[in-house]
Amino acid sequence: MDFSTQAIPRIDPRRPWVLGPSGLKRIVLGDDSGSRDAALLAHGPAHKPLRSSGPFSQRLLVVAHAERGQLDDAAREAIAAAAILAGKDGEVLALLYGMQDAAPEALAELAVDRALTVADPGYAPEQKLALLQQLLQQESPHTVLFADRSEDADLGRRLACRARLSVVTDVVEIAADGVRRRQPGAGFSLRERAQVLLLARGVAEAKLPFVGKGERLQTAALPAISEQVQDLGSAASPASQLALEEADLIVSAGNGVSNVPGFLALAEALGAAVGASRVAVDDGRFSRDKQVGATGKTVQASAYIALGISGAVQHLQGIKSCRHVIAVNLDAAAPMIKRADLSIIDDCQSFISAFEALVRRERNLV
Amino acid sequence: MKIAVLIAPAVHPVSGRPCAGEADLAALALAQRLSSQVDVWYAGAADDAALADYLARGATHIHTLALAAGREVLSPLAEALQDYALVLCGARAGGGDGSGLLPYQLAEQLGRALLPDVLDLSKSDQQWQALQALPKGVRRTLAAKLPLVASVHARAASAVGWSYARLQQGKIQRKAATGAALPQVVLEPARRARALVAASKVSGHARMQGAIAGGEGKSAGIVVKQGDSVEKAQVVLDYLRQHQLVDF
Amino acid sequence: MSFSLAHALTGLFWLGALLLLGGLARRASLWQQGRSASVSWLGLLAMPKRYFVDIHHVVAREPAVARAHVAAAGGGVAILLLSALNYGLMLYQGWLDVLLVLMAVVMLLGARMMQARRLQAPPRLSQGRWQVLPARLRLFALGSLLAAGLLFAGPQLGLAGQLIAVVALLMLALGGAELALGIGLGWPMKHAVAGLLHLAFHPRVERFAGKSSDLKPLNLAAGELGVAKVEDFAWNRLLSFDACVQCGKCEAACPAYAAGQPLNPKKLIQDMVAAQSRGTDPAYAGNPHPGREATVVVKPGEDIVGSVLAAETLWSCTTCRACVENCPMLIEHVDTVVNLRRHVTLSRGEVPGKGSEALANLRNTDTVGGYPLAVRYHWAIDLDLPLLQPGEHTEWLLLAGEGAFDMRYQRALRALVKVLKAAGVNVAVLGAAERDCGDVARRLGDEAGFQRLAQANIATLAQYRFAHIVTPDPHVFHCLANEYPALGGQFDVWHHSKLLEHLLARRAIPLKADATPLPPLTFHDPCYLGRYNDGFNAPRNVLKGIGIKVVDMQRSGRDARCCGWGGGAAFTDIPGQRRIPDMRMDDIRETGTGRVAVACPNCTAMLEGVVGERADVIELAELVVERLA
């Protein structure tokens, strides 16, 4: 039956649905694509108010490194924490590495009032420290916040030790009575709020209902100080050589993948680490160290592409901390489809060859 | 060349018993790979039983600077370690504060360069090269001259397996030391941490919209059935690009 | 004429006896490499009973072979004894010659039967010298026949008699060499001498007085850390390896071998023989460890594991005791495997796969899976299961074991508690005070870890007052019942199958009155309940008691195939061609029942882990609870 010819427009009850937070299926009205892309549903870019127009009598400094011009969630949370803590008369000052191309609106959207953006020189702790100390002297923020992971964590610790500032790491909660950090084996420990705070994930809700002023400080170059340690450059190690536990992108094969060479070619083209389900390992198609799951390896990839894996409980346990799961399977009722963020109902063999061809074309590998 | 390795007992996350820390073990294993003269050091209040795991996993001899609980270990350690050209320690201890600050403090105190999160160390010409672990499998090569402090990534090297015989043969040598008193910390049982949330003035309807449709991981997955394999492959690539999961 | 033949026989006899004694002395010097062991010389007196009862018990499972062996060996021994009397002591009695002729005929028949069997030898049998042994024995028997016959009726034969005498002597010399030189040169007949001595000085002498399947504790304080080199075996262990007849019954029974994992128990024992004889014995001519070379290079002075034996071979064993159960020479393969593992674990710390993680979990959390002890009885929160307090008394103490952390097995545990409650059994648990029994630690060679856990458990249990312990986990059952006594823990331990059987027999469990017939199912015997503790009947009686017919698998009871979990094999996870539980599921499928009853948390997990179409796996207690009124 053709719905469009009907006098009264009807909603197809079998349309793709959305699972609401309460676990109920919902069909979003006026959305006929079935896609629940957040951007499609929002009422356009909402106009958010300015957090505070000043004048500011005190300030907090957030230091963050961007990756490919983007701040990750941890860094956004650090800025959000500063913005929430700042109060009416407090200013959010940010020192951002690798965001020299960011538009003022983008900075405002992050809730930053004033930002110093510097090109990221790579490994240059002495120069970064000198700049940071210079900034501390000029602006004298009462608190410096870092996300407690990778480059930011490193710089934060260096700053605290060099400038002999009080510091609390692994902060999980900032409250009126002080800050709480996770203490190994002993729950939380309560500390006085220190000058340098290194924040664990989840300290603040990164989504903010306001924007900052988004001004940019005069862009400063890093001071020319010689480094004790020389940076000889960095490289992403080939995913195929990465330990599965460390890999950020994994393609994983299950029973539905019969063409192993084709599968491996896809993994290579995509630059993804190779995983496998227990069935595929038991069959001898893959070595035991590739096995993902409760009896194999627990992985933490940002993206996990499961090809022809039905998704036994043990396998799902092994991928529970993967951020994006993409499933390709012929059986739409497989448990893996329920877990996946994007599911493709297709034959693995034809999908693999199509996907590999596409990736090769897009990467100009041919 | 003599290498000093710093170790400390970790707290087992389930039972709370002392055990060996992964990163400290990696530091021990890396040091043993680099040199046959490895001195293992510990400063703190832990008893011998808490260090047993390190003996069982390859430390034949542990020098312990015995301090009362709640004392800072930095100055006695710095004094003991100043003659070592290379000092290795785990990037983070799994016990004590587990703040990951000690390598930085030690490097600062000894006035040396710090190589953070090291996966591998090797000597080339007059310099030492270190392979630094960065997120998402990125590796950075650093070069520096001795003396150095390096904090070792947990995945750098694996120590020998736990052996009862090694535990029986291992020795722990204690020497009394003093350090300044650290401020008392107040411990609380773990609970769900309260996140800072900005007071919102948005209407209820908008919040509801956000709760239903927005937010990562809250919604069920998209299921694509239509189209041929080529179109479906395009959908997957678009998804990967949209979420910045690939860089092409 | 006959005079000189008789003397020649006397000479030949004593020459053979001397060669045998010399060979024995040489072999004994090899056994002397081993450590001293406390043995009783009275064992020599017990030898006949052990031979005719204990060995026969195993051999008689294959009647044809048993008959052939009785004829060949019985005839052979009789010939040797009669020759000793008649020629050795130079009695030269005609009637003894007649007896000799008769015995030679018996032996000839036996050897002939053996030769016939060798024509269609099953692949488990070793080839090489073993293949030609029956022919040599026939030669010997025929020689005896001719010589004795000639002596009896000789004088009339003249020149022909002389010729026959020469031929007979040649046959005796050739065939007799097999008997006389066997022990010294490691030829097949070594098994006769070593096998008899093995019976007398068996390293597990308790097995002749009843069931004995417990591992023996190491004296850690005295520095015992398992077996690294040949010298670390007790001398009577080395002797036991020489008893092996390479019949391959262990090979045929071994689940790891069938799964293509690199373990052949027969080859394992022969590897030990090669190590102790430093490779001077004839080359092994049987099946290799799957996927490995058959030849071994013995480097004297080197550790066994890593030279003659690959570590993977050692870690493939599930300690299911199928090999021990089937060995006609009563060799204890599992003891040897664990003794070698102890060295690898305790001294080297090289436990493969997730084995080292399991051992670390045991050290750090007292559970195999690294769980908090406090959550062990969370599944019983609504079952009103009393937590035993120190000083309080309960009739039955329930130890749930590691299965209590498994969501699937918690269903079985809940069923068990419900049944016990319905039967009015006074039962309580220890809660967070219960630690792992140490089974996995011990089988993985971590004797230190086992003893720590066992001693801690014994000390804990001493604080409570209870009459009996009941556990649904055969591994817990075996450890507590059979292995804790050596460390000072004496408890009355029951497997839940026995308690359920007991309650059903007393009609203490209120069952549904309706007589709807239940579909038949098959029962999978857990190794640690069945072969380890002879608990074959209790679970079957329970099923019968609730009106379910059991269709046994071809391999059931004593011959049941392991599920693949035991001995830490699920953790070390040595790759093979197939998985052991998959093979067991095939066995189950063959019965056509579509359902299998289990009585062990680990069998439950292994069989439920089979991918694809599989039979329903139901725990014993779950079947009983369904029938509760």
Which chains touch B (3+ CB pairs under 8 A)? A, C
Give the B window 46-75 contacts with C, CB below 8 Å: 56-57
Give the alpha-carbon dihedral of A184, A190, A195, A198, to 10 degrees.
30
Q: Is A201 annotated as a binding residue?
A: no
Of the ranges A356-365, B125-134, C1-10, which one carries the lowest mean pLDDT score?
Answer: C1-10
pLDDT in tens, B131-175: 999 877 789 999 999 899 999 999 899 999 999 999 999 999 999
Per the CB < 8 Å rule, is B223 touching A345? yes
Mean pLDDT over residues C283-309, rounded? 90
Give yes or no for a contact between C598 and C620, defined as CB atoms under 8 angstroms apart.
yes
Closest-CA residue of chain A to C573: A288
Per the CB < 8 Å rule, is A312 touching C354? no
Q: Which of C354, C578, C611 sits opposite A278 (nearest CB)?
A: C611
Question: Burial, C217: exposed, middle or buried (Cβ in 10 Å; 0-12, 13-18, 19+)?
Answer: middle
Q: Which residues of A touch B246 (CB under 8 A)?
A: 249, 270-271, 303
E-only strand ranges, A105-228: 114-118, 143-147, 167-175, 178-182, 188-191, 196-199, 215-216
Question: Same domain, yes or no, for A75 and A145?
Answer: yes
Q: Which of A19, A186, A248 sits opposite B220 (nearest CB)?
A: A19
Per the CB < 8 Å rule, is B230 touching A81? no
Report the topology of domain C2-194: Fumarate Reductase Cytochrome B subunit (1.20.950)
Residue C354, SS3 per DSSP: coil
In the prediction, which pLDDT does A40 show?
A: 40
Residue matched to tokens 């160390």:
B121
At C1, is the pLDDT very low, low, confident or very high (cuts 50, 70, 90)?
A: very low
A112: containing domain: 58-216
**Number of domains observed in the structure of chain A:** 3
Helix, strand, coil percentages (3-state) for chain C, rounded to 5, are 60, 5, 35
Interface size between A and B, measured as CB pairs under 8 A: 277
Residue at C551: amino acid letter: V
Query: Is residue A269 situated within a structural domain?
Result: yes
Q: Which residues of A touch B186 (CB under 8 A)?
A: 189-190
Query: Is residue B19 situated within a structural domain?
Result: yes
Sheet of B138-144, strand order: A230-236, B138-144, B127-133, B113-124, B148-152, B86-90, B2-6, B37-44, B61-66, B171-176
Give yes or no for a contact between A244 and A299, defined as CB atoms under 8 angstroms apart.
yes
* Adjacent-strand bridge partners of A252: A275, A306
Per the CB < 8 Å rule, is A295 touching C354? yes
Question: Same domain, yes or no, for A149 and A77?
Answer: yes
Q: Give yes or no for B11 touching C (CB within 8 A).
A: no
Give the C window 607-626 contacts with A, CB below 8 Å: 609, 611
Query: Is residue A305 situated within a structural domain?
Result: yes
In the predicted model, is pLDDT for residue A35 greater than 90? Answer: no
Question: Same domain, yes or no, for A107 and A210?
Answer: yes
Q: Please name which of A162, C411, C279, C491 lies closest in space to residue B113, comparing C-alpha atoms.
A: A162
Q: Residue B164: which CATH number?
A: 3.40.50.620
Closest-CA residue of chain C to A280: C611
Q: Which residues of B touch A355 (CB under 8 A)?
A: 229, 233, 236-237
Give yes or no for a contact between C33 and C276, defined as CB atoms under 8 angstroms apart.
yes
Question: Same domain, yes or no, for A39 and A102?
Answer: no
| Mutation target vs A (from B92, B119, B229, B231; most A CBs, 10 A cutoff) | B229
Query: Is residue B212 situated within a structural domain?
Result: no
Q: Which residues of B touch A172 (CB under 8 A)?
A: 193
Q: Give the C-alpha distances (Å, rounded to integers) separating A339 from A34, A313, B132.
A: 18, 11, 34
In the predicted model, is pLDDT for residue A48 greater than 50? Answer: yes
* Cis-peptide, bond into residue B147, ω within 30° of zero: yes
Residue C302, SS3 per DSSP: coil
| Mutation target vs C (from A282, A286, A288, A289; most C CBs, 10 A cutoff) | A282
Report the topology of domain C221-348: Fumarate Reductase Iron-sulfur Protein; Chain B, domain 2 (1.10.1060)
Query: Is residue A329 situated within a structural domain?
Result: yes
Q: Which residues of C touch A288 (CB under 8 A)?
A: 573, 575
Interface size between B and C, measured as CB pairs under 8 A: 48
Q: Which residues of C touch A255 (CB under 8 A)?
A: 611
Question: Same domain, yes or no, for A68 and A192?
Answer: yes
Q: Which residue has the higher pLDDT, A28 or A157?
A: A157
Q: Which residue has the higher pLDDT, A72 or C438?
A: C438
Query: Is residue B190 situated within a structural domain?
Result: no
Q: Which residues of A touch B97 (CB under 8 A)?
A: 169, 183-184
Closest-CA residue of chain A to C579: A282
Which chains touch C (3+ CB pairs under 8 A)? A, B
Q: Give yes or no for B205 touching A (CB within 8 A).
A: no
Q: Which residues of A touch B138 (CB under 8 A)?
A: 234-237
Q: Kindly report the nearest CA distance between residue A219 and chain C, in angstroms.
A: 52
Q: Is A311 annotated as a binding residue?
A: yes
Q: Which of A288, A295, A312 sits opposite C575 (nearest CB)?
A: A288
C-alpha distance across the termini of chain C, in Å: 91
Question: Same domain, yes or no, for A176 and A289?
Answer: no
Query: Is residue A5 situated within a structural domain?
Result: no
Mean pLDDT over residues C292-296, rounded? 86
pLDDT in tens, C373-398: 999 999 999 999 999 998 889 999 99
pLDDT in tens, C200-247: 999 999 999 988 999 999 999 999 999 999 999 999 999 999 999 999
| Mutation target vs A (from C357, C611, C613, C614; most A CBs, 10 A cutoff) | C611
Share the mean pLDDT of chain B.
Answer: 88
Q: Which residues of C touch A312 (CB under 8 A)?
A: 611
Residue matched to tokens 């060949």:
C72
Residue B12 token pair: 């087992």
Query: Is residue A187 situated within a structural domain?
Result: yes
* Cis-peptide, bond into residue A55, ω within 30° of zero: yes
Name the pairing type of β-strands C393-398 and A273-276. Answer: unpaired
Q: Is A329 annotated as a binding residue?
A: yes
**Number of domains observed in the structure of chain B:** 1
Closest-CA residue of chain B to A25: B220
DSSP codes, A36-89: --HHHHS-SS--PPBS-----SEEEEEEEE-BTTB--HHHHHHHHHHHHHH-TT
In the prediction, which pLDDT does A11 show?
A: 56
In the prediction, which pLDDT does B216 show?
A: 42
Q: Give the C-alpha distances (Å, rounded to integers) separating B211 from A41, A282, B217.
A: 12, 43, 11
Q: Is A310 annotated as a binding residue?
A: yes
Q: Give yes or no for C408 touching A (CB within 8 A).
A: no
In the prediction, which pLDDT does C539 show?
A: 96
Q: Which residues of A touch C611 (CB under 8 A)?
A: 255, 278-279, 282, 312
Residue at C170: amino acid letter: L
Residue at A174: amino acid letter: I
pLDDT in tens, C435-474: 999 999 999 999 999 999 999 999 999 999 999 999 999 9
Question: Same domain, yes or no, for A268 and A181?
Answer: no
Q: Is A315 annotated as a binding residue?
A: yes
In the predicted model, is pLDDT for residue C476 greater than 60? Answer: yes
User: Among A216, A233, A264, which residue terminates a domain?
Assistant: A216
Between CA B131 and CA B157 the distance in angstroms is 12
Q: Kindly report the nearest CA distance between residue A294 and chain B, in angstroms.
A: 18
Q: Give yes or no for B69 touching A (CB within 8 A).
A: no
pLDDT in tens, A103-112: 888 899 999 9
Question: Burial, C400: exposed, middle or buried (Cβ in 10 Å; 0-12, 13-18, 19+)?
Answer: buried
pLDDT in tens, A219-251: 667 888 888 899 998 887 776 677 788 788 899
In the prediction, which pLDDT does A8 show?
A: 63
Question: Same domain, yes or no, for A205 and A62?
Answer: yes
In the prediction, which pLDDT does B201 show?
A: 65
Share the mean pLDDT of chain A.
Answer: 84
Per the CB < 8 Å rule, is B201 touching A49? yes
Q: Is A251 annotated as a binding residue?
A: no
Per the CB < 8 Å rule, is B57 touching C347? no
| Mutation target vs C (from B162, B166, B168, B169; most C CBs, 10 A cutoff) | B162
Say which DSSP state B92 is in: S
Q: Which residues of C touch A284 (CB under 8 A)?
A: 577
Give the alpha-carbon dihedral of C189, C190, C192, C194, to 10 degrees.
180
Q: Kindly report the nearest CA distance between residue B85 and chain A, in angstroms.
A: 15
Between CA C503 and CA C495 the distance in angstroms is 13
In the prediction, which pLDDT does A7 show?
A: 59
pLDDT in tens, A129-185: 999 999 999 999 999 999 998 899 999 999 999 999 999 999 999 998 899 998 888
Query: Is residue A223 situated within a structural domain?
Result: no
Say which DSSP state A11 is in: -
Reported ipTM? 0.89
At B8, is the pLDDT very low, low, confident or very high (cuts 50, 70, 90)?
A: very high
Question: Same domain, yes or no, for A24 and A97?
Answer: no
Q: Please state the domain extents for chain C.
A: 2-194, 221-348, 361-626
Q: Is A313 annotated as a binding residue?
A: yes
In the predicted model, is pLDDT for residue A41 greater than 50? Answer: no
Give yes or no for a contact between C135 and C110, defined as CB atoms under 8 angstroms apart.
no
* Adjacent-strand bridge partners of A236: B138
Share the mean pLDDT of chain C.
Answer: 93
* Adjacent-strand bridge partners of C595: C616
pLDDT in tens, B84-132: 999 999 998 888 888 999 999 999 999 999 999 999 999 988 899 999 9
Of the ranges A89-98, A185-194, B202-211, C11-20, which one carries the lowest mean pLDDT score?
Answer: B202-211
Between CA B28 and CA B156 the distance in angstroms is 10
**What whole-number percentage of chain B has pLDDT above 70?**
92
